[in-house]
Amino acid sequence: MKFERFIATFVMMNIVLMLIVVFSAKNEIFTETASQILFGEKVTPDFFTLSPKELERTGFIKGDTKFFDQQMSDIFEKTNTSRGELDNLKKLPAYERSKKIVQMFSLMGDGKCMTEAALPEKINRMADKEGCANDFALVFGMLARYTGLEVRIVSNGFHEASEVFDGEKWIYIDTYFAMTAASKDGFMSYIQFAEAMVNDGWMRFEYFGGSEHCMSGKPIAEHPYFGDKQTFASVYLYNGDNFPEIVKTQRELSDKALFIRKSVPYKNSTPELVYTEVTHSSDSILRKYVKTGMAVIALIFAGTNIMLPIYYLAGLFRRLLLRNNAKS
């Protein structure tokens, strides 16, 4: 009987725990806490407006110059990317330069990430309309940086885009869809775009892909990706321009964001924006301990939920057999 009481107590604790999780999810407590533990530090919207120099003072990590030069040498040697064409773009304003760079390689892809492919291979396969937003943001970041642009990758956990700094503000550049967005005051940053998407604000989509691009002649705003406001409720900024390293972090981010989204079906109907700075350098010791502790607790919880009922049912079955044997 003691064991049965333990099982009953355990079941009640599970019910209480589930109620707590549901309550937390409805009030964004769970998702915000998980986001900070798994991804990085929650920041204010103002953090996204800092200039490149201001960002460097907050820990923005500049990529290794020698590594970058080697990567660009490989691109010029193994692809049709023209060094001269990129050099000629250096005098153009940031937005015009970004458009020209995107038009050099972006035809949109098949949504399947070329995870293990080197940069030259990614570019060559993009000519066959392969790749995902992750790949396109990486290639754009490298080419844009070569032309002297200050560029960074932003994400909502499900799709990557880029921003370029025009000397005064950051401008949103979606290299996969070959588009940006503008308000009545001019081109938007990614955070302005996300806020407009979530709050049904007015904006104008600016498409700049070529005639061979998959979205050519199609209303971009009607693409299914732009139909779910909840998709844009989280904004992640990667704190550096070491793009190959950032891409590795992004793959982890997508998996975690997808897990949280699917495991929390009771979110409020009206999404609220959450802003996070993602650290792609090694995690702090504290965060590693927290992650490890969460994993251990989750394993214990899952294992106990599976094994205890099995153990209880096996014991019950054994007692029934003994009772039947005693009667016979």
The residues spanned by each domain of the chain are 45-281
- Provide the pLDDT confidence category of residue 281 given band limits of 50, 70 and 90: very low
- Provide the pLDDT confidence category of residue 264 given band limits of 50, 70 and 90: very low
Share above pLDDT 70 across residues of the chain, in percent, rounded to a whole number: 69
**Cα–Cα distance between 135 and 138 in angstroms, integer?**
5
pLDDT of residue 267: 40
- Provide the pLDDT confidence category of residue 327 given band limits of 50, 70 and 90: low
- Provide the pLDDT confidence category of residue 310 given band limits of 50, 70 and 90: confident
pLDDT of residue 233: 80
Q: Which has the minimum average pLDDT: 80-94, 139-153, 288-302?
A: 288-302
pLDDT of residue 259: 44
Token duo for residue 54: 């201001």
Q: Angle 133-146/65-78 helices, nearest 10 degrees?
A: 110
Is residue 313 classed as helix, strand or coil in its secondary structure?
Answer: helix
pLDDT of 180 above 70: yes
Q: How far apart are the first and last CA of the chain?
A: 25
- CB burial of 240-257 (b: ≥16 within 10 Å; e: otherwise) equals bbbbebbbebbeebbebb
Average pLDDT over residues 268-273: 51
**Cα–Cα distance between 15 and 312 in angstroms, integer?**
18
| Alpha-helical segments (H) within 204-266 | 243-263
pLDDT of 270 above 60: no
Is residue 90 classed as helix, strand or coil in its secondary structure?
Answer: helix
Average pLDDT over residues 93-99: 96
According to DSSP, the β-strands at 186-187 and 179-183 are antiparallel
Is residue 237 classed as helix, strand or coil in its secondary structure?
Answer: strand
Token duo for residue 5: 């009481």
**Cα–Cα distance between 140 and 81 in angstroms, integer?**
12
- Provide the pLDDT confidence category of residue 260 given band limits of 50, 70 and 90: very low
pLDDT of residue 241: 76
Q: Between the ranges 17-26, 30-39, 88-97, 281-290, where is the mean pLDDT highest? A: 88-97
For residues 128 and 134, the answer to whether their CB atoms sit within 8 Å is: no
Judged on CB neighbours under 10 Å (0-12, 13-18, 19+), 217 is exposed
- Compute the half-sphere exposure of residue 203: CA atoms within 13 Å on the CB side of its CA: 26
For residues 142 and 176, the answer to whether their CB atoms sit within 8 Å is: no
**Cα–Cα distance between 280 and 326 in angstroms, integer?**
66
- Provide the pLDDT confidence category of residue 261 given band limits of 50, 70 and 90: very low
According to DSSP, the β-strands at 234-238 and 274-278 are parallel
What is this structure's pTM?
A: 0.73
pLDDT of 223 above 50: yes
Token duo for residue 204: 């104008």
pLDDT of residue 22: 58
- Provide the pLDDT confidence category of residue 20 given band limits of 50, 70 and 90: low
pLDDT of 254 above 90: no
- Provide the pLDDT confidence category of residue 147 given band limits of 50, 70 and 90: very high
Average pLDDT over residues 222-230: 86
Q: For residue 17, which of 305, 276, 328 has the smallest C-alpha distance?
A: 305
Which residues make Cβ contacts (< 8 Å) with residue 281, sequence separation at least 6? Answer: 61, 240
For residues 7 and 308, the answer to whether their CB atoms sit within 8 Å is: yes
**Cα–Cα distance between 48 and 186 in angstroms, integer?**
17
